[in-house]
Structure 1
Amino acid sequence: MINTQEPVENFQQLYDDIKKYVLLQTEYVKVEFVEKLAILLSTLLIVSLIIILVIIALFYLFFSIAYAVEPLVGSLSLSFAIISVIYFGLIALLMVFRKKLIINPMVRFLSNLFLSKNQ
């Protein structure tokens, strides 16, 4: 006589295993997402802090350059104007090379972070 109970138990076990697998995969995706989000946010925080500190340092550096150039050009306002031209030049260079300096490294970082399999 053929036991009809066995296939039903096998299907129930298969269903339970698939359900457990799906739940484990969901948890794995959540953990991986949180890990990558933490890396992304910490990198953004570090880069933001570095940018702020560089801006402050450049501010004081250009102030000191303006006061150092003042005896050469004869006017403090003219030396500050020269420093302003230097600032605009740096902004123009940043705009011209924004893809090479900002966009490409950011895309490379994000693609390595989210698309690479580091298992």
Structure 2
Amino acid sequence: MFSNDQNIETIGQLVEVIRHYVGLQSEFFKLDIVEKIVRLFTALLMIGILSILLIVVFIFLSFAVAHALAPAIGTPCAFLIIAGGYLAIFLLFIIFRQKWIEKPLVKFLASILMQK
């Protein structure tokens, strides 16, 4: 009673639909991973390029400020003041690295990797 031709055909169709579904799910998973990797690399590349440009701008601004201060206090003192400013900024980043760098980075990565 349970093994007539119609039941066997229905089970065969069900198996084919399940195979197709599993194949589509695996393709979706692969595409989702690729999308997240591409978004992550794009963000990292943009951060890298913008960081390099920002560093170049800061270098030129530093030289401009040092040369502007040089007539008033002397060239060595002007460059020492600029270096001291950068040292202070560096120390602030060390002190507040968790608040300014780690937490935003974790939030950013979580937003990319945990999207549905």
Q: How does the TM-score come out when normalised to structure 1?
A: 0.87
Amino acid at match of 1:107: V
CA distance in structure 2 between the aligned counterparts of 1:90 and 1:3, rounded to whole angstroms: 79
Deviations 1:59-103 (A, max 9, x none): 010111111111222x21121111111111111111111112211
**Stretch moving more, 75-84 or 17-26:** 75-84
Amino acid at match of 1:106: L
1:12 alignment partner in structure 2: 12
Aligned in 2, Cα 1:2/1:98: closer, same or farther, shift over 3 Å?
Answer: closer
1:109 alignment partner in structure 2: 108
Aligned in 2, Cα 1:102/1:2: closer, same or farther, shift over 3 Å?
Answer: closer
CA distance in structure 2 between the aligned counterparts of 1:3 and 1:25, rounded to whole angstroms: 31
Q: Which runs of 5+ in 2 are unaligned?
A: none
Q: Which runs of 5+ in 1 are unaligned?
A: none
Q: How does the TM-score come out when normalised to structure 2?
A: 0.89
CA distance in structure 1 between the aligned counterparts of 2:94 and 2:10, rounded to whole angstroms: 65
Aligned residues: 116
RMSD, aligned CA? 1.7
Q: What is the 5 A alignment of 1:55-94? A: 55-73=55-73, 75-94=74-93
CA distance in structure 1 between the aligned counterparts of 2:52 and 2:24, rounded to whole angstroms: 42
Aligned in 2, Cα 1:9/1:91: closer, same or farther, shift over 3 Å?
Answer: same
Deviations 1:44-69 (A, max 9, x none): 11111111111000001011111111
Greater relative contact order: 1 or 2 (C-alpha under 8 angstroms, separation 6 or more)? 2
Aligned in 2, Cα 1:97/1:2: closer, same or farther, shift over 3 Å?
Answer: closer
1:23 alignment partner in structure 2: 23
Question: How many angstroms does 1:3 deviate by?
Answer: 5.6
Deviations 1:26-47 (A, max 9, x none): 0001111111211111111111
